[in-house]
Structure 1
């Protein structure tokens, strides 16, 4: 009986923790944007070394209210600003800029203000509606991303 309860508890816990923001690849986001042109795109631009990026992942992006709001209202994309390979988004190719130590997509998204983390909200044509630089608590993040 104890084994059954333990297994059930682990199963329920794994389901609870598995729910999060449905981050998409650039290709999937392009397809989703073409299929849902009215839905804005939310870009989380991060780097592997950024402490506040990790804090955003660990605290803000797991908050149930943030998860629900982002998944319902946006096409969410997570993008490493230091990606060195060429990437394509909305039909445009972007390459790495060695001098900036960033992919040109991150540079364009932030209007040249390479600060991490950065949250950028775009329409389906790639026009920037809002840029939010830096860490936000769950409560502040949800109010800041409303457009």
Structure 2
């Protein structure tokens, strides 16, 4: 049997730890960042609330992809515009994850990540004449028809103009 005063102490300690965890979690997340979603979340969201979609295909080895993620997708005007008017999906073209989207199961042919082995989703959406150039940024209508497609680095101004 636990001593009542020890029980009170443990409950207070637990409450303090919970508050500390919640506070640190809130501080760790950037307040104004693009709300990236997965293709699975996108499928559900489009059924509930149709909006245009921005797809950003990248790879780990692509310097311009990293530059867009760090310099462009952190711009506050762009973040606000994307979060208000679009669904945004960021996808590693070399991912080995299985993706369930629009009733389809899409995979990568390889089971371990290797440079140059692209996911089926990237092959469908991010290829130009069978070739890949990263970063690839695609703007889709809510019905998933392609409105614009860029196979290059886009700075903040060009991306805002695209939107």
- TM-score w.r.t. structure 2 length? 0.72
Q: Distance in 2 between matches of 1:56 and 1:66?
A: 12
Alignment map for 1:46-85 (pairs within 5 Å): 46-85=58-97
Counterpart selection for 2:43 from 5, 12, 30: 30
Structure 1 residue 127 corresponds to structure 2 residue 145: yes
Structure 2 unpaired stretches of 5+: 1-23, 111-115
Q: CA RMSD in A?
A: 2.3
Structure 1 residue 102 corresponds to structure 2 residue 118: yes
SS at match of 2:36: coil
Greater relative contact order, per chain length (Cα 8 Å cut-off, separation 6+) = 1
Q: Distance in 1 between matches of 2:84 and 2:103?
A: 25
Flag the structure with larger Rg. Answer: 2
Contact 1:90/1:126 (<8 A) preserved: no
- TM-score w.r.t. structure 1 length? 0.79
Structure 1 unpaired stretches of 5+: 1-10
Alignment coverage as a number of residue pairs = 132
